[in-house]
Structures are given as C-alpha cells and as structure tokens.
Amino acid sequence: MLQALGVGSIEALFDEIPAALRGVRLNDVPPALTEMEVSRLMRERAEADGTYLNFIGAGAYEHHVPAAIWQIATRGEFYSSYTPYQAEASQGTLQVLYEYQSMMASLLALDVTNASLYDGASALAEAVLMAVRAQRSAKRVLLPRSVHPVWRKVARTITRNHGIELTEVGYDADAGHTSLPALENFKGEEIAAVVVPQPNFFGVLEPADELVDWAHAHGALAIAAVNPTALAILKPPGIWGTNGADIAIGDGQPLGVPLASGGPYFGFMACRKALVRQMPGRIVGATRDSEGRRGYTLTLQAREQHIRRSKATSNICTNQGLVVTAATIYLALLGADGLARVARASHANAMTLLAALTRVDGVERAFSGSQFHEFVLRLKTPVTPVLEALKARGIIGGFDLGHDFPELGDALLVCATETKTDADIMRYAESMESIIARRYRPAPCAVRPSS
C-alpha cells in the first residue's frame, strides 16, 4: 500500500498529524501472535473462566439458542450488511427488519415497532423522553422501584438534562409488586407517564390492568417494560386495562441471543399509531415500486443524520441490526407455539426450584405475588458467602439484592429457564441445603452446670 501511494513509511503517511498529538509506542502490547497461537490463547482463557450451572437472571437470561439461528445470521448476506444506514439498503436486509417489526407488533399487540434500540435500559430512557414529548407540558414520570435498578440508573442518566423528574414508586412489601395505594399520593398532580414492568425485577407479576387504567385516569401515558418471552403466555401490553398501554419497551436478549460477557443485547419499542412520529430509531415500511412489485423502505427517519440535529427525536445513531436478525430467525423458527412452550417450561422449572429451595431450613420465599421464571428468597445467613460457596461447587446461585434493595435484608434473586433439568434443580437445592446447614445453626440453649 505504501509503495502504491508513493510513501516511504507509516510515519510519513500520517505526517499531517502534529508530533505533539501522536501517540507514544504501545510498550505494554505483547508481540504479535499467529492465528494458531491466538486461537489457543483464547481457548485457554475461556477454559480458565470455567463452566457453571447458571441460576442467575436479573435481565440476562440463559435460553436455548438453536444452532440454526446463528448459522443463518452469520451468513455473509446478513453478517456484513445488517445496518441500513441509507434508504438504499438491500431489500433483503429491509425485509428482515420488516418481518421483525411485524412479529414484535403481534407479540406486543401494538400498532408499530421500530428496529431497534441499543438495549432495554436505553429503550426505557427513550420511552420516557417520547412520553414527555407527547405530553408537552408534563415532566414527571412515575418509575416503580420494582423496575430493573440498572434500567432506572440509565434512564436517569439519559433524561436528567431534559428537566424530567423520575419519581420512584414503592412496592408492596408482602406481594412484591407496585403498591397501588402509593400511586394515590400523586393523585391530582401533572404526570407524563407511568412505567409498568411485567414481570418486574423480582420476577413478580404486576397488576398491569389496574396500573394502566390508573395512568389513563390521571392523564398519563402508560409505558410497559416487558420480558418478550413472558408475553408468549401473558396478556400483551396492547390490551392491558381498558385501553392498553401506549408504549412498550424491553430487551430482546431472551430471543435467541446467548449470554456473552455482557452483550450484545438489543432494545425493542412499540407504540400506538398516534405516537409514531415521536418514536426514535428506524421504521421499515412495505411499499410497491413503479412496476407494482412489493418492496421495503425506511420510513419516518426522525434522526439527526436526516434532519437538523435540534429537530431530531433522538440521537440514536445505529440499531442492533445483527442481533435483531438473530431474534427474527428465532421467532420465525419457534413460532407462537414454540415460544409459549419455552415460557411454560421456564415457569414450571422456576416453580419446581422455588419449592425445592424453600424446603431448606433457613430459606424462605420473600414475596407472595405470582412469579414468572424468577423469584426472591430470604436467607437466614449473609448472601455473599453462600454464593461464593455455591460457585465453588460449580453453581452460579443468583443475584445478591443487598446492594440495590438493602431493605430486603439477606435476599437473593434466582432464575430458572427451560434449560434446567430436574437433576440441575436437585443439585442446586442439595448444595444450598448443605451450605446453609454449615453456616446456619441455631445457637444451642445454654445449660448451667449443676451444683
């Protein structure tokens, strides 16, 4: 390349960069490795991480991902052309996104979806901004504490410079869902929206119908924050309450995306047609060309690349198109019945695990509300040492709630999906019983020696 350009060296190629701005040598970067050496290094690193029986959820769910999904998604036709930056994007790419939108709109029972957002957390923030734009004057959004704590933090970070007030609403200490009486404290105030998680971070099912109707009765929009797998067997947000939720968001990771060191995920968003011009991101529409042939095109691109930045609904610059492609294949492969089987199996395994663990002395169920595939346990011993002991036995036992919900005491969030067998559940329960028995022994009554 240097020879073709007539340049003597790499340094000469970049001589327009002032010397004071050029980086120093990367002394800590190791010598180059061959492909074989790199493959061996990565294999050794992966083996060092170990293989664990996983019972943690908390927004990252281990579902079975059929091999066909990523075999198809990583074909060259998809793998290198998944983000349609321009309206001239390939018809195949646009059709995949259109099919994705169609399936998600059906799953959520709402009029239109976009394709797509970064993750569930940023999708929540965008839904809050969208609701405030639609409501114009109202700047307060009611955000239950039962929403994922990371999602709440991200929403605050993204919206805090917009003059938006995110007001937390407490949860019922017994049932574990949003407290309806707590909402009455905001009666008569100007509210832009109410967020309704389903299921919530504790795995508890919320009284979605009542929450949506309360929001609409007080002039607020209802934002549903949902798990897409759960919607295969639960009522979709578009028909919650009398008139349904106005906006629905969530994370699509459960739909064919494996757990991989924190990503990649993708956020989804759907809304009623009346709000579509407030929706951020891309929307793919179906049309016909001059010869009457069916085609696909980007529509309503209210983004900063296409209009003045100050007029854009969002500064989202890309979508998670490759992951959305995988989710589209996953939904098409499983179909409605297959997704429902995944949801039912996950729920059944979670209930079996809950029954097994609550038979252990020193372990009790924290909330009485109905669950999907996660639940909260209270332990009579600190959670962190128990999780460490479980990990030593090859089990990731759950998510310690102590940092985010200190009021729950020694509380543990546990998840089970369709990937767990009866043997897995028994292994976890027996390990928990053994660990708790060693750590939790009621103090014996003191006996005074006889005189």
The answer to whether 377 touches 184, Cβ cutoff 8 Å, is no
Q: For 85-242, where are the E strands, in sequence order? A: 112-113, 140-144, 165-169, 193-198, 221-226
DSSP letters of 213-281? HHHHHTT-EEEEEE-TTGGGTS--GGGSTTT--SEEEEE-TTTT----TT----EEEEE-GGGGGG--S
Question: In the block, which residue shows the tokens 């009021």?
Answer: 407
* Cβ-count burial 148-164 (b if 16+ within 10 Å, e if not): bbbbbebbeebbeeeeb
Tell me the CATH class for 67-331: alpha beta
Topology at the third CATH level for domain 53-60+336-439: Aspartate Aminotransferase, domain 1 (3.90.1150)
> Is the model's pTM score more than 0.75?
yes
Roughly what angle, to the nearest 10 degrees, separates helices 383-392 and 422-439? Answer: 130
* Domain segments of the chain as ranges: 53-60+336-439, 67-331
- Predicted local confidence at residue 451, as pLDDT: 47
- How many residues does the structure list for the chain? 451
The answer to whether 124 touches 265, Cβ cutoff 8 Å, is no
Per-residue pLDDT of the chain (451 residues; tens, 9 = 90+): 999 999 999 889 988 898 888 877 788 888 899 999 999 999 998 888 888 999 999 999 999 999 999 999 998 888 776 555 555 667 888 899 999 999 999 999 999 999 888 899 999 999 999 999 999 888 999 999 999 999 999 999 999 989 999 999 999 999 999 999 999 999 989 999 999 999 999 999 999 999 999 999 999 999 999 999 999 999 999 999 999 999 999 999 999 999 987 778 999 999 999 999 888 878 889 999 889 999 988 887 655 455 566 667 776 655 688 899 999 999 999 999 999 999 999 999 999 999 999 999 999 999 999 999 999 999 999 999 999 999 999 999 999 999 999 999 999 999 999 999 999 999 999 999 999 988 766 555 555 555 4
- Predicted local confidence at residue 24, as pLDDT: 73
Other CB atoms closer than 10 Å to residue 316's CB: what's the count?
19
Six token digits for residue 430: 């027996």
The answer to whether 410 touches 379, Cβ cutoff 8 Å, is yes
